[in-house]
Amino acid sequence: MDNHGTIPAERVADRFGMSKTQLAETTGLARETLYRADRSRASKTQGRLREMLEILSRIEDWAGGKEQAMAWYRAQPIPAFGDRTAESLVKDGKAAAVRDYFDHMALGGFA
């Protein structure tokens, strides 16, 4: 986050070795959103980035690093969600369900 509590899309994209276009695709946002400063700071945009980063930070340790966490986030089907990926769930506004799933697993629940 920057000094204003905003998540800079450029830093997130750089951290994961992707362009802002790829980051927009990963978060389910329009490409233009991350290229326009006013839209990049909008609450919907910031919320989506925050949800993605929160999920990635929760899985980074057991995934083996940030790159592996991103690969899991984008490609690993989750049986409890009909084999949808975390990425597709976040795009549909269901990040809370993914977080609840991780909480359930942390308490020893089954996938």
- What confidence category does residue 5 fall into, taking pLDDT thresholds of 50, 70 and 90? confident
Residue 85 Cα to chain centre, angstroms: 11
Report helix, strand or coil for 78: strand
- pLDDT of residue 109 exceeding 70: no
Structure tokens at 86: 């975390």
- Yes or no: say if 34 and 55 are a contact pair by the CB < 8 Å rule: no
What is the pLDDT, as a whole number, of residue 62?
86
Residue 54 located in a structural domain: yes
Residue 2 located in a structural domain: no
Q: Number of structural domains, the chain?
A: 1
Residues 6 or more apart whose Cβ sits within 8 Å of residue 93: none
Residue 4 located in a structural domain: no
Structure tokens at 77: 């089907």
Domain that residue 61 falls in:
9-106
Residue 95 located in a structural domain: yes
The dihedral region occupied by 78, where left means phi > 0, alpha psi between -120 and 50, and beta the remainder, is beta
What pLDDT, in 10s, does the model give residues 19-53? 999 999 999 999 999 999 899 999 999 999 999 99
- pLDDT of residue 102 exceeding 90: no
- pLDDT of residue 110 exceeding 70: no
